[in-house]
Amino acid sequence: MVKLEDLGEVISTDVLIVGGGVGGLAAAIKVKEDNPESDVLIVEKQTTGYAGKATKIGGILVFLGPDNDADNFIDFQVNTSGVYLNDQELLYKYITSTFNAIEKFAEWGDKLAKTPDGKMVSFPAMFAPELSSTFIDIDMMLPMRSRAKKMGTKMINKIHVVDLLKEDNRVVGAVGFHIIDGNPYIFKAKATILANGSCGYKVRRFWSAGTGDGIAAAYRAGAEMRNAEYGNLYGHTVFQATDSGMVGSDFLVNSLGENLRQKYMPDKGPAGVFLPVNLAIGLEKEVAEGRGPIYFEPPKGGPQHGGGFNMSLPKLGQWHEKIAKKEREHGLTPGGKHEIGVPMHGETSCIRVDHEMRTSLEGLWAIGDTSYAGSALAGAVASPPGVCPGSGIMFAVVSAAWAGASAARYITGSSSVDIDAQEAEKIKRMAFEPMHSRNTFSPLDAISALGDITAPMKYNLRRSKDRLEEALSMIETLKDKLPSLYAKDLHYLSKCHEVRSMAICAELTFKAALMRDESRGFHFREDFPERDDKNWLKWIIIQGVEGEMKLSTDPIPINKYKIKPNGGK
């Protein structure tokens, strides 16, 4: 009979938070505010307060300002980027919580952009009417970490959480390992909050924190997924030489000098997301037909890229200066004509959650980038940018507050949990298997192979039945090879689990994309180019049942929502 204590370090807590990014920290603070006596533990693969995506951001926060109108914004969002796949009630709850989150940042001691006379900078949001923006400095998590610590939150860094533990249908903790000393950890928790990010397939350096570990663990535990087809963000145009910049789409030209925005979007179209799908597909076509590369060429006197940043945010200012220096070194001068690229970010964030961020499994919550698309508040768009660029951090802290309050209530009335030592042992054995393998399949080769499937637009943006099936068969081939992964050290062991998670996210995305035989928002099917409201006002739900991905649909309760297709209200 296996004893739990013999398997590794066993730690009991009331609330286990997986991931110490901005969402994880905000959740810890909220649980402690609502239930100061509770034990709250954050476990983080890297270092809490420094890891995750929020340290790599553009610093934009988008919110509903005192002069903005929530109904007008929702009308725009649902009709353009969400295309009726939104949970409109949750969208309302979210957007009306955003100003309070700005106030929270100030209360935590974060630096928000200020005008010279000390007022908070606020300007209209870039891509959405009726919303306001400001900037926050990129060391925002440090005051949050201090506050969480002062309130008594415990933190353990360098822990890679591999899988969740269950007692019947209830999640009761997780198993992980220390990526420096290799010690196994078993966490026993009344409530578990997944705050460990989205999946970006490690295609881009800045997005590499998102390896879908939480999504895959929730899926393996039997949680429902929603909107997985919207895990295909091709963010925005960047300079090919530096992978930097966000040059917008108005002044993109092909090698013949034709303006591509005018060619592919003569009516300009809705601007709810970074790069409209029809323009992205147009850019791919231009290159395929020999009219590449694509350049950014602003007219003389027109908008330029680059420029200084001075909003009394020192870290963000330094960051902008560093990027500007790199661009100068590569000869990227303002006003010049420069080659651009359209890299994939992915951003699968498909754990299905309710209005309190509860998953379909008891005892398990999912927040921030794990569940942005799965919450359905953004609708038919990969999230973030979801509602619009600048909402990733905002959704992380708002959803953390909802989940924190809900988990704090839950633990008050909930009994202590038991862990099945045999289940824990099984996960532990699986977790360390690649270290004992005699095989030679490197996780780096596996990650690269997965990138070749998920990144090309022909598979993930300009979708068709044939190509989706081709991509899925490539994923199957890769999955067959995953049991032979070899980890030469603990760092590589972590990579092995990352690629395992990312392969599940890819399969979720491609299977859902194959099922949705229409085009809507960020999902474009070349073989079904029209939107089909008659058959597809539905969310695609995926659940793992006996090792198989089971797909079903859930009708959108459009009749109870205010905004209906084609202007019907």
Ligand X SMILES: Cc1cc2nc3c(=O)[nH]c(=O)nc-3n(C[C@H](O)[C@H](O)[C@H](O)COP(=O)(O)OP(=O)(O)OC[C@H]3O[C@@H](n4cnc5c(N)ncnc54)[C@H](O)[C@@H]3O)c2cc1C
User: In the complex, which residues of this chain contact ligand X (CB under 6 A)?
Assistant: 18-24, 43-46, 51-54, 56-61, 159-161, 195-197, 206-207, 209-210, 213, 368-369, 384, 390-394, 396
- Contact between 248 and 238 under an 8 Å Cβ cutoff? The reply is no
CB of 27 to ligand X, least distance (A): 9
CA 33 to chain centre: 26
**3-state SS assignment for residue 91:** helix
Nearer to ligand X, 137 or 369 (CB): 369
Alpha-carbon distance of 345 to 243, in angstroms, equals: 12
Strands 40-44 and 9-18: parallel
CB of 206 to ligand X, least distance (A): 4
- Contact between 388 and 275 under an 8 Å Cβ cutoff? The reply is no
- Contact between 348 and 229 under an 8 Å Cβ cutoff? The reply is no
Alpha-carbon distance of 25 to 397, in angstroms, equals: 9
- Contact between 235 and 275 under an 8 Å Cβ cutoff? The reply is yes
Nearer to ligand X, 45 or 190 (CB): 45
Where is 507: in which H helix or E strand? helix 490-515
**3-state SS assignment for residue 555:** strand
CB of 250 to ligand X, least distance (A): 21
Nearer to ligand X, 156 or 287 (CB): 156
Residues in the chain: 569
Nearer to ligand X, 2 or 246 (CB): 246
**3-state SS assignment for residue 267:** coil
H-state helical runs in 80-153:
88-95, 98-108, 141-150
CB of 182 to ligand X, least distance (A): 15
CB of 328 to ligand X, least distance (A): 20
Nearer to ligand X, 282 or 385 (CB): 385
Locate 3 and state its tokens.
């004893």
HEC readout, 430-494: HHHHHHHCCCCECHHHHHHHHHHHHCCHHHHCEECHHHHHHHHHHHHHHHHHHHHECCCCHHHHH
CB of 396 to ligand X, least distance (A): 4
CB of 142 to ligand X, least distance (A): 14
* 180-181-186 Cα angle (round to 5): 105
CB of 177 to ligand X, least distance (A): 10
CB of 122 to ligand X, least distance (A): 15
Alpha-carbon distance of 164 to 186, in angstroms, equals: 10
CB of 93 to ligand X, least distance (A): 18
Nearer to ligand X, 252 or 394 (CB): 394
Ramachandran assignment for 566, one of left (phi > 0), alpha (psi -120 to 50 degrees), beta (any other): left
Nearer to ligand X, 104 or 261 (CB): 104
Alpha-carbon distance of 473 to 513, in angstroms, equals: 14
CA dist 203 to 109, 116, 344, 391, 499, Å? 34, 40, 7, 22, 12
CB of 159 to ligand X, least distance (A): 6
Nearer to ligand X, 80 or 244 (CB): 244
Alpha-carbon distance of 468 to 473, in angstroms, equals: 9
Nearer to ligand X, 307 or 565 (CB): 307
Nearer to ligand X, 371 or 519 (CB): 371
Nearer to ligand X, 20 or 173 (CB): 20
